[in-house]
């Protein structure tokens, strides 16, 4: 029987979770499946059925994503799974074709995802658009640099209190960074305020602290460990962000100063985490960087017009989409106040693959670096202007995997 591709029926949420679970080694308990359902958008899912049985899934989150100078509607590609029995038979390509077609029909200019493997999504026109850093800091090296700011005091609050206090702080911070999904109430509840026993993996319940200055917060867990009678536990930061230098210092100092803790681990950190320059011995903080969020400009002109640019400029960009083989040439005029971008038949200043344009979109990739690897065509003046326009401060950061 032929494979059928269609959205999942809302009643199939358990099948959807089980199919994903088989692929991602996740054996969801009933409470986990129930939580999964609160953010699931069945009408935007695309599933493959073989003889009526679900064998592959692709989900979509209807996101609002921060971009340089604002925020835009974006589709979050998620829950991509193909059963081991059906791999390498073209199912992902079929699901992606249905997904990107639906995104185009809805007029969302950008599609974003996190990639399990960095070799999968370039062929679909997605580019790695931010860096995500994993940090491990031995607490014996928590001393701050002589120029670090005075840490703001911090207070512990309950998860219940956090529901009121933290979302508005996050909204103010997120507005300054590109690459962050705006967190809606169901997202907060499922991803931050839910603390199932299976989430703990041998660690404590979730703890939350906020800066008393009201502009930063941290979510963390603590894991007890003893060796030879001595304490050497871990503190695992799951989210930490702030606005003022004093609050960044206060929150980092707070987690690094816990008794009975030998090291603090934090994943999904930004390329420019203020912690490193605040430490007296930053080399002691082991930092491992990898790709963070990936973006695809599903509507090239619409996406480029939807962000702001660091300096005024004008560029004609020709981009080649490896997903469908199409070429788009657009005339971009942009600056700090906004941008316009329209299809044109003018000769291009830059010739680029859609993957690399996706990678530069939030301000991460630099055109001159790409040109040095032969991936972008254009003269020095155009490359220099493109770097000046697309670059954004701070560098993009996506602090959550979706
Ligand atoms: C990754 C996965 C979804 C691919 O599904 P699939 O149906 O086997 O993929 P397709 O047969 O449609 O292949 C599409 C293309 O991707 C490539 N591809 C597929 N899986 C790949 C992988 N793991 N690494 C690199 N390339 C991969 C194929 O070679 C093919 O390339 P081509 O079109 O240029 O020939 C599937 O292997 C899977 O479920 N893996 C485990 C879960 C996972 O990693 N999901 C992704 C979450 S972000």
Instruction: Specify if 334 maps to a domain.
Output: yes
Is 104 in the same domain as 178?
A: no
Instruction: Please give the pLDDT value at position 29.
Output: 87
Is 144 in the same domain as 259?
A: yes
- Could you give the CA distance from residue 354 to residue 125 in angstroms, rounded to a whole number? 5
User: Ligand 1: does its nearest atom lie under 6 Å from the Cβ of 95?
Assistant: no
**DSSP state for residue 274 in the 8-state scheme:** T
- From the list 121, 219, 323, 361, the catalytic residue is 121
User: Ligand 1: does its nearest atom lie under 6 Å from the Cβ of 81?
Assistant: yes
User: Ligand 1: does its nearest atom lie under 6 Å from the Cβ of 116?
Assistant: yes
Token pair 């599933």: residue:
47
Instruction: Specify if 63 maps to a domain.
Output: yes
Instruction: Please give the pLDDT value at position 1.
Output: 64
Is 361 in the same domain as 253?
A: no
Is 255 in the same domain as 356?
A: no
Q: How far, in Å, from the CA of 81 to the mean position of ligand 1?
A: 9
Establish whether 254 is a catalytic residue. Answer: no
Instruction: Count how many domains the chain has.
Output: 3
Q: And the tokens for 366?
A: 């630099």
Q: How far, in Å, from the CA of 344 to the mean position of ligand 1?
A: 35
Is 315 in the same domain as 377?
A: yes
- pLDDT tens per residue, range 76-114: 999 999 999 999 999 999 999 999 999 999 999 999 999
- Could you give the CA distance from residue 210 to residue 274 in angstroms, rounded to a whole number? 17
Instruction: Specify if 126 maps to a domain.
Output: no
Is 309 in the same domain as 371?
A: yes
Parallel/antiparallel/unpaired status of strands 110-113 and 294-297: antiparallel
Q: Is 153 left (phi over 0), alpha (psi -120 to 50) or beta?
A: beta
Q: Which residue's CA is the nearest one to ligand 1's atom 18?
A: 120
Instruction: Specify if 251 maps to a domain.
Output: yes
Residue 290 has pLDDT above 80, yes or no: yes
The proportion of the chain whose per-residue pLDDT surpasses 90, expressed as a percent, equals 98
Is 199 in the same domain as 334?
A: no
User: Ligand 1: does its nearest atom lie under 6 Å from the Cβ of 37?
Assistant: no
* Best CA proximity match to 78, nearest among 42, 28, 52, 49: 42
**DSSP state for residue 347 in the 8-state scheme:** P
- pLDDT tens per residue, range 127-140: 999 999 999 999 99
Is 276 in the same domain as 313?
A: no
Is 152 in the same domain as 282?
A: yes
- pLDDT tens per residue, range 164-188: 999 999 999 999 999 999 999 999 9
Distance of CA 241 to the CA centre of its chain: 15
Q: How far, in Å, from the CA of 188 to the mean position of ligand 1?
A: 30
Strands of the sheet with 110-113, listed across from one edge: 4-6, 46-50, 53-67, 70-82, 110-113, 294-297, 127-128
Q: Are 366 and 324 spatial neighbours (Cβ–Cβ below 8 Å)? A: no
Establish whether 402 is a catalytic residue. Answer: yes
Q: In which domain, by residue range, is 192 found?
A: 132-291
Average pLDDT over residues 275-279: 98
Q: Among the atoms of ligand 1, which is closest to the Cα of residue 114? A: 48
Is 236 in the same domain as 338?
A: no
Rg of the Cα atoms in the chain: 22
- Residues 124-157 as b/e (b if ≥16 CB within 10 A, e otherwise) read bbbbbbbbbbebebbbeebebeeebbebbebeeb
Cross-strand pairs, 122: none
Q: How far, in Å, from the CA of 209 to the mean position of ligand 1?
A: 40
Is 102 in the same domain as 173?
A: no
Residue 189 sits in a domain whose CATH number is 3.40.630.30
User: Ligand 1: does its nearest atom lie under 6 Å from the Cβ of 84?
Assistant: no
Q: And the tokens for 40?
A: 């699931």
User: Ligand 1: does its nearest atom lie under 6 Å from the Cβ of 88?
Assistant: yes
Q: And the tokens for 69?
A: 């100078």
């Amino acid at each position: 029987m032929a494979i059928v591709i269609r959205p999942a029926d809302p009643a199939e949420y358990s099948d959807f979770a089980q199919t994903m679970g088989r692929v991602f080694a996740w054996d969801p308990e009933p409470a986990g499946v129930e939580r999964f359902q609160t953010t699931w958008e069945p009408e935007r899912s695309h599933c493959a059925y073989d003889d009526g049985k679900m064998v592959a899934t692709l989900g979509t989150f209807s996101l609002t994503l921060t971009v340089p100078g604002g925020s835009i509607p974006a589709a979050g590609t998620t829950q991509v799974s193909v059963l081991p029995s059906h791999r390498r038979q073209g199912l992902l390509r079929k699901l992606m074709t249905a997904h990107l077609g639906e995104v185009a029909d809805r007029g969302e200019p950008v599609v974003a995802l996190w990639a399990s493997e960095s070799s999968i999504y370039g062929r679909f026109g997605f580019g790695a658009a931010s860096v995500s850093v994993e940090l491990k800091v031995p607490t014996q090296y928590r001393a701050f640099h002589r120029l670090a700011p005075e840490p703001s005091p911090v207070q512990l609050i309950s998860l219940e209190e956090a529901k009121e206090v933290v979302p508005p702080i996050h909204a103010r911070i997120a507005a300054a960074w590109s690459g962050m999904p705006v967190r809606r109430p169901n997202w907060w509840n499922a991803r931050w305020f839910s603390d199932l026993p299976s989430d703990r993996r041998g660690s404590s319940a979730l703890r939350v602290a906020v800066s008393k200055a009201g502009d930063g917060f941290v979510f963390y867990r603590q894991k007890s460990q003893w060796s030879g009678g001595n304490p050497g536990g871990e503190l695992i930061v799951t989210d930490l962000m702030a606005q003022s230098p004093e609050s960044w210092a206060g929150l980092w100092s707070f987690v690094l100063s816990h008794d009975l803790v030998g090291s603090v681990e934090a994943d999904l950190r930004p390329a420019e985490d203020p912690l490193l320059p605040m430490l007296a011995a930053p080399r002691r903080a082991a930092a491992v960087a990898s790709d963070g969020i990936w973006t695809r400009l599903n509507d090239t002109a619409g996406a480029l017009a939807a962000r702001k640019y660091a300096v005024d400029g004008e560029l004609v960009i020709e981009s080649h989409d490896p997903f469908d083989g199409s070429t788009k040439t657009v005339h971009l005029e942009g600056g700090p106040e906004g941008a316009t971008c329209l299809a044109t038949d003018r000769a291009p200043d830059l010739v680029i693959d859609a993957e690399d344009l996706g990678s530069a979109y939030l301000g991460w990739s630099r055109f001159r670096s790409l040109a040095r690897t032969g991936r972008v065509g254009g003269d020095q003046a155009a490359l220099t202007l493109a770097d000046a326009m697309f670059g954004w401060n701070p560098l993009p950061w996506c602090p959550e995997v979706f």
